[in-house]
Amino acid sequence: MNSFNKISVVGLGYIGLPTAAVFANHGVQILGTDTSQNVVDSISAGKPHFGEPDLDALVRRVVENGKLSVSTAVQAADAFLVAVPTPLREGDDTGHGASLGADLNYVQAAAEAIAPVLVKGNLVILESTSPVGTTEKMARWMATLRPDLSFPHDKGEMADINVAHCPERVLPGRIIEEVVNNARVIGGMTRKCAQRALSLYRIVVQGECKVTNARTAEMSKLTENAYRDVNIAFANELSVICDRHKISVWELIQMANLHPRVNILSPGPGVGGHCIAVDPWFIVEGAPEDARIIRMARQINDAMPGIVCAKVVARAQSLVDPVVACLGLSYKADVDDLRESPAVEIVAQLADSKVAKLLVVEPHISALPKALSDRGLELADFDMAIEQANVILLLVDHFAFMHVGRDLIKDKFVIDTRGAW
């Protein structure tokens, strides 16, 4: 029997809810909290408030058997898992070009909600992706409200409360499987903090668990996503250079990747999602003079929507009645998630250019995001869009787009930003 009979999960979003449900499914009593009454109501009724494979059945089961209960108020528990958003905010101008940083308001609010119910022996774990030093900040926020308890930044191994960071690293679409099977980096503010967090994760995690300090764990998550961002930026930069030389970047990468130690990623219309397009800024924020490649990669990837838009505008201007079928809006294939999606930005820019009629196709959603409906756009049917358009702009390589009849597009101008056709 482990010493964690009751775990409080603070923040029931994309990470918190699946994590809560997986722990509850292992027989641990989970108290989930979220500041949104709608989220709490929906989960209490056994229904997740977002789509994720296998999550519905799991949540229904653990709510019905009473292992997961949810509320808007944080209650006493043996351990607290914080999985709240850490969005981007405009950062200070560091003199190295405009910079962005992390908004830690949700982490602070979670710390302040947990503090009143803490008792000696509790463990608090931050899972949210955070800049280096955030776990320590969280400990200090709790300490300010609870001068009667000691925390690791003051009392080290002797502290009453243990605090650790264990970043989530799951891939949307495979969250349930990856919560269990991924390797985890577990960083404690002290060794004891790390060991206690390890014993908590061991309840459900089958992947390898590596123990380190909190700062290394914070930086490791940021590094993973910055590594990918930098490598995608390399591919995107190649695509711009190849356009100039009239070379197919896709063929080029295929050739270069024949080398046994080269593995170039895929260029595209830009980098979206709430992770890779965001987290590298947290590294830049903490080391603005030194994070040069990381900052430039962000800028290169962020410039891609403008480059794609310019290509489409140039093509449209050469036609008499240009009609552009914009295929896909989500940030990557086969998901309904539009967060930070470069495809949405491209369609918005094209609409503002007023250079062509736009037919917007996205099979995974039922209504356009406000940014596009406000511009007078409507969702279009795939077959109709392919038939009516003279320019086909493939923005997302959804499975649903892969089998379009070649004869249907052979006389149209195709701009394939994913190299999928």
Residues that bind ligand SAJ (CB under 6 A): 129, 169-172, 224-225, 228, 232, 265-266, 268, 271-273, 275-276, 331-332
**Per-residue 3-state assignment (H helix, E strand, C coil) for 322-373:** CEEEEECCCCCCCCCCCCCCHHHHHHHHHHHHCCCEEEEECCCCCCCCHHHH
With CB atoms as reference, the residue minimizing the distance to ligand SAJ is 275
Kindly name the residue from 166, 209, 275, 326 that is annotated as catalytic.
275
The least distance separating ligand SAJ from the CB of residue 28, rounded to whole angstroms, comes to 23
State yes or no: is 275 an active-site residue: yes
- Using the minimum distance from each CB to ligand SAJ, give the nearer residue, 33 or 236: 236
In angstroms, what CA-CA distances link 342 with 271, 345, 373, 375?
A: 6, 5, 17, 17
| Catalytic-residue membership of 246 | no
Nearest-approach distance from CB 364 to ligand SAJ, in angstroms: 14
Starting at the edge strand found earlier in the chain, the sheet holding 209-213 runs 68-71, 29-33, 6-10, 79-82, 123-126, 162-165, 184-188, 209-213
Show the CA angle centred on residue 417, arms to residues 328 and 349, nearest 5°. 65
Closer of 235 and 319 to ligand SAJ (Cβ): 235
Which tokens hold the place of 336? 């309904």
Closer to ligand SAJ by CB, 19 or 129: give it: 129
222, HSE (Cβ side, Cα atoms, 13 Å): 29
- Residue holding tokens 């400990």? 139
Residue with the two structure tokens 């019905």: 64
| Least distance CB 212 / ligand SAJ (angstroms) | 18
Q: Which is nearer to ligand SAJ, 253 or 291 (CB)?
A: 253
| Pick 268 or 322: Cβ nearer ligand SAJ | 268
Shortest distance, CB of residue 235 to ligand SAJ, whole angstroms? Answer: 6
- Rounded CA-CA distance 249/418 in Å is 11
Compute the least distance from the CB of residue 5 to ligand SAJ, in Å: 29
User: Which is it for the CA torsion 23, 141, 282, 51, positive or negative?
Assistant: positive
Give the active site residue among 166, 221, 309, 332. 221
- The residues carrying an active-site annotation are 221, 275
